[in-house]
Structure 1
Amino acid sequence: MGQVLDRIEQFADELRAEGAEGDKLMRLSDTSAKRLRDSGVMRMLQPKEYGGHEAHPREFAETAMGIGAIDGAAGWVSGIVGVHPWELAFFDRKAQDEVWGADPDMWMASPYAPMGVAVPTEGGYVLNGRWSFSSGTDHCGWIMIGAAVGDADGNRVMPPKILHVLLPRSDYDIDQDSWNVVGLRGTGSKDLIVKDTFIPQHRTLQADKVFDGSAPKEFGRTQTLYNFPFSCIFPLGITSSLIGIAEGALACHLNAQRERVTVSGTAIKEDPYVLFAIGEAAAEIAASRAAVLETVDRFWDMTEKGQDVTFELRAIGRRTQTAAAWRAVRAVDEIFARSGGGALQLSTPMQRFWRDAHAGLSHAIHVPGSIYHSSALTQLGGEPQGVHRSMI
């Protein structure tokens, strides 16, 4: 799958320049979206029978990193939109045909958070709600979003029952004024609005079956890729693109510092303190990459052998992934603080990498509290409950 990233890197300079345009548009430019579409990045985790590659998750992660290092928003959209084909592979065959039958390059936006309520009706559900942070949504023809099952009055049933549901572009609105932010502006992560929309049963999937790994088994997907743990593959594109952003910031910093001389007349190459900081930051970013990829490789090998990736291992994996994100962004802060006042100019990519890195860290998948709690408690022989099992 290296050829996917190769196709992107052929146009690296153009994609960087288009990143500045996307920052103003607050979505990917049409040209950038076409470059991603033509590269095949969104088909990396897609089933082969629908024109996909069924790539190893490591290759998907490395591709998201590579794109993120060129342009943060493009990497972010690739990492998020690119994981949705993995889950569509478990939906009813009719739903897969509806999305991919006419166009194997069809994109689906999210989010999975159950921000709306689906009320059962004959043949399916009636859905209402508003969803925030739908990355890349302007370029998607479908959405895959979370919904809580409700009663006849529209109140969520207890205990909660969560669905993942599919809607075509004709069944929802995008609030074009809902995305005006400081970082990852080019992702166009806007709000979606759904009003009294009917969703047929075949376009729904029980979320808990995705989380516990029973969905691919029920569908009959035997490939290692589709039996890979959700809690590893779902955050993978997000964190990988963030690490890529950090790598892009480092490359940008190094390029700017090679011939730089401070106001005191000291060349950066002769400043031992700055050189130490650059070296330390580079090591931290490299460690972040290595940690994420090691988890992917280990979980893949276990899945391929039919071994159970236990809750404890998944919790530790999420801890590793979350820590990698924080480590990479802290490293970006260290080099940005030593980039000089020129890095503050909006005409330079350095400031955008810095803004995008911090925006990416705010994603729910990077919140460390419950993840660190769960991994520690499990290793101490405890049994995390409730929110402490979420996204693990």
Structure 2
Amino acid sequence: MDNTIADQRELASTLLDRARVVASGLRERAPEAEERRRVHAESFRAMKQADLFRAYTPARFGGYELHPRYFWRIAAEIAKGCPSSSWVYSVMSCHTFVAALFPEQAQEEVFGADPNAGISGILPDRTSATRTDGGYVLKNSVWPFGSGCHNANWFLLGAQLDGMPPGHDKAFFLVPPEDIEIKDDWYVTGLRATGSNSVSLKQDEYFVPGHRMLKAETALAHKYGTARPLLYRAPFAPLLVISLSAGTTMGAATGALEFYEDLLRTRSARPMVYTDDILKIQLSSTHHILAEATAKLEAARLMTDHAMDLCYEAATDNTRILSTEQRARIRLYGVHAMHQAREVVNILFQDSGGSSLHERSQMQRFHRDINAMSMHEAMHDEIIKEVYGRLRLNQTTTHWLL
């Protein structure tokens, strides 16, 4: 497909319309999905049928190579219906981006038969891999937080390469689902419907062909030339982490804001408890809360767009390589925006009244899910603040996801 700005906008408009239709069904099925502790099968099927998973798939396999500022908006529309489904969509799309950096043979295996292939995985290294003839022997371990594992066509598993020095020893391995065992251990308070179970290999020592391995340093090289399509020349870690979190958090915050305003309007004719004539919609505190939430959310959206634009601009200019500090700053923008969205939900939840505690309430789901997302280590605001501060003051850091 063409990648002009006009073409990307037209495509994004079509995908956003599809996402809104899908989200309405996700909203209805969200309670059942939480009971099952995984994305509802019908919801996952609807996202695939709408071709939403093609967003980060290479164009040569029928994908869209979508601008990341449009990608997060699709995830946001999904999140307004079901944050867990949006999280799985975002996680799998990020892994699609990673898979697009693998050797051509691996890409053919993953995307050749299905451009909408869903990829679950855990990128942090949990075990070791040893080089052998034709590939690697991956030692078995337990990889936790395998979001979307029940719907995956492939798995990405992180490991350390034996015999390699630090900084050169991290790698990602593609494994088909028939060789994966899913643990029944996802019993949580937030993001319940993501099916983020732990996974392990069915063999103690598992052979992975060489073309299904990608070194982390290759993905993080930040110097790709023109051989890769434009999207895949973007700085790996900033684009990946912001794509993971932005859409789901912005969508949850937007959904919470819409819920709060609807709640005010539906209760506008009913006095508050313990009063005869005070309406919540008339309280100055209500007006301040609504205005503060609106401003925080808009600031978060603008910062997210700015971060995504910086990623894409870096991809378009092959003569400029972002410094480690610049990449950390983009990460900082993304994480800060995410926590601003979390603050929006927390402010609104606190003022929504006891009815929002009911499990049938969308507000409590937004509240639980966005706070669960904020606990992901890649979204830890104090860590990325320290990393950026150190780099800005010309100090070193061992943080490698930059």
> How far apart, CA to CA, are the structure 2 residues paired with 1:384 and 1:178?
38
1:19 maps to 30
Mapped pair 1:344 → 2:351: no
| Deviation of 1:103 (Å) | 2.0
Mapped pair 1:257 → 2:264: yes
Note the alpha carbon deviations across 1:138-176, whole angstroms, 9 max, x for none. 11111112111236xxxx97566011110001111111x
1:131 is paired with a residue whose SS is strand
1:236 maps to 242
1:125 maps to 136
For 1:161, the aligned partner's letter is D
Mapped pair 1:248 → 2:252: no
For 1:208, the aligned partner's letter is E
Note the alpha carbon deviations across 1:285-334, whole angstroms, 9 max, x for none. 12111101111113322331332222121111111111111111112111
Which of the residues 96, 100, 116 maps onto 1:105? Answer: 116
Q: Quick check: 295-304 or 122-131, which moved more? A: 295-304
1:83 is paired with a residue whose SS is helix
Which of the residues 367, 374, 378 maps onto 2:387? Answer: 374
1:192 maps to 199
Note the alpha carbon deviations across 1:254-303, whole angstroms, 9 max, x for none. 11121324212422220111220121012111211110111111332233
Q: Quick check: 334-343 or 307-316, which moved more? A: 307-316
**Alignment gaps of 5+ in structure 1:** none
1:267 maps to 279
Shift in alpha-carbon separation, 1:122–1:350, aligned structure 2, 3 A: same
Q: Quick check: 40-49 or 369-378, which moved more? A: 369-378
Note the alpha carbon deviations across 1:327-365, whole angstroms, 9 max, x for none. 111121111111011001111111111100111111111
> How far apart, CA to CA, are the structure 2 residues paired with 1:299 and 1:357?
24
Structure 1 stretches of 4+ moved >4 Å: 156-160
> How far apart, CA to CA, are the structure 1 residues paired with 2:174 and 2:197?
17
1:180 is paired with a residue whose SS is coil
> How far apart, CA to CA, are the structure 1 residues paired with 2:85 and 2:167?
38
Mapped pair 1:139 → 2:148: no
Report matched runs for 1:1-392 at 5 Å: 1-127=12-138, 128-150=140-162, 161-175=169-183, 177-194=184-201, 195=203, 196-214=205-223, 216-217=224-225, 220-221=227-228, 223-240=229-246, 241-260=248-267, 261=270, 262-263=272-273, 264-265=275-276, 266-306=278-318, 307-380=320-393, 382-387=394-399, 390-392=400-402
Q: TM-score, normalised by structure 1?
A: 0.93
| Deviation of 1:106 (Å) | 1.6
Are the counterparts in 1 of residues 220 and 237 from structure 2 also a CA contact under 8 Å? yes
1:111 is paired with a residue whose SS is strand
For 1:139, the aligned partner's letter is N
2:123 is paired with a residue whose SS is coil
> How far apart, CA to CA, are the structure 1 residues paired with 2:225 and 2:212?
18
1:179 is paired with a residue whose SS is coil
Are the counterparts in 2 of residues 79 and 236 from structure 1 also a CA contact under 8 Å? no
> How far apart, CA to CA, are the structure 1 residues paired with 2:351 and 2:26?
26
For 1:148, the aligned partner's letter is Q
Are the counterparts in 1 of residues 80 and 252 from structure 2 also a CA contact under 8 Å? yes
The percentage of aligned residue pairs carrying the same residue is 28
| Deviation of 1:217 (Å) | 4.6
> How far apart, CA to CA, are the structure 1 residues paired with 2:167 and 2:87?
33
For 2:96, the aligned partner's letter is P
| Deviation of 1:234 (Å) | 0.7
Are the counterparts in 2 of residues 78 and 237 from structure 1 also a CA contact under 8 Å? no
Q: Quick check: 177-186 or 297-306, which moved more? A: 297-306
> How far apart, CA to CA, are the structure 1 residues paired with 2:322 and 2:68?
16
| Deviation of 1:126 (Å) | 1.4
| Deviation of 1:245 (Å) | 1.1
For 2:93, the aligned partner's letter is G
Shift in alpha-carbon separation, 1:188–1:277, aligned structure 2, 3 A: same
Shift in alpha-carbon separation, 1:97–1:257, aligned structure 2, 3 A: same
For 1:242, the aligned partner's letter is T
Note the alpha carbon deviations across 1:67-115, whole angstroms, 9 max, x for none. 1122101111111101222222221111111112222222111111111
> How far apart, CA to CA, are the structure 1 residues paired with 2:281 and 2:108?
58
1:114 is paired with a residue whose SS is strand
Q: TM-score, normalised by structure 2?
A: 0.91
Shift in alpha-carbon separation, 1:368–1:384, aligned structure 2, 3 A: farther
> How far apart, CA to CA, are the structure 1 residues paired with 2:14 and 2:176?
30
Are the counterparts in 2 of residues 46 and 53 from structure 1 also a CA contact under 8 Å? yes
For 1:84, the aligned partner's letter is H
2:60 is paired with a residue whose SS is helix
| Deviation of 1:65 (Å) | 1.5
> How far apart, CA to CA, are the structure 2 residues paired with 1:300 and 1:98?
27
For 2:339, the aligned partner's letter is W
For 1:352, the aligned partner's letter is R
> How far apart, CA to CA, are the structure 2 residues paired with 1:199 and 1:50?
23
Are the counterparts in 1 of residues 19 and 74 from structure 2 also a CA contact under 8 Å? no
> How far apart, CA to CA, are the structure 2 residues paired with 1:76 and 1:288?
18
